[in-house]
Copies of this chain bind each other. A is one copy, B any other.
Amino acid sequence: MSKVMTQDVRTTVDAYFAMWNAGDAAARAEQIKKAWVANGRYVDPARDFEGHDALSKMVEAARAHYVGHTIRQSSGIDAHHDLIRFAWQVLAPDGGVHVTGIDIGVLADDGRLQRITGFIGDLPE
């Protein structure tokens, strides 16, 4: 067995956004495998899903609800220890910003996501 190499955080986060934007189930599974460890868990105010299959179904449902929308990273990645944060925007089909938020990630030893915690919008006053 060879030692698992730690994946660069940029590769992981790119795969994470590609997962959200993948309409094709096979392409999405590929990105999920690149982005997440097997028991990776995503939690935001409306969602709580764990594991590759559940994550794929989560994205499928979100894409069915927000037809034609895309999500993109809207800040750099701030990282320390095994922790990352970055901002994102969901764009409507006309390109307008539909919703914004931040994700906090915990990385596994191999550099893939163990956990994402999403928060919507700006901090309350």
Which of B48, B76, B83, B119 is A123 in contact with, Cβ under 8 Å?
A: B76
Q: Report if A78-B48 is in contact (Cβ < 8 Å); known contacts: A83-B117, A119-B85.
A: no
Q: Are B75 and A43 in contact (CB under 8 A)?
A: no
**Contact string, A110-125, partner B, CB cutoff 8 A, digits 1/0?**
0000000101000111
Number of copies: 2
Interchain CB contact under 8 A, A76 and B119: no
A80 interface contact, C-beta 8 A: yes
Secondary structure class of chain A's binding surface, majority of residues: strand
Contact B76 A124 (CB under 8 A): yes
Q: Number of residues in A with C-beta < 8 Å to the partner?
A: 21
Closest 5 CB pairs of A and B: A76-B124, A75-B123, A45-B80, A104-B104, A87-B123
Taking beta carbons and an 8 Å cutoff, which residues of A are in contact with B?
Answer: 43-45, 48, 75-78, 80-81, 83, 85-87, 102, 104, 117, 119, 123-125
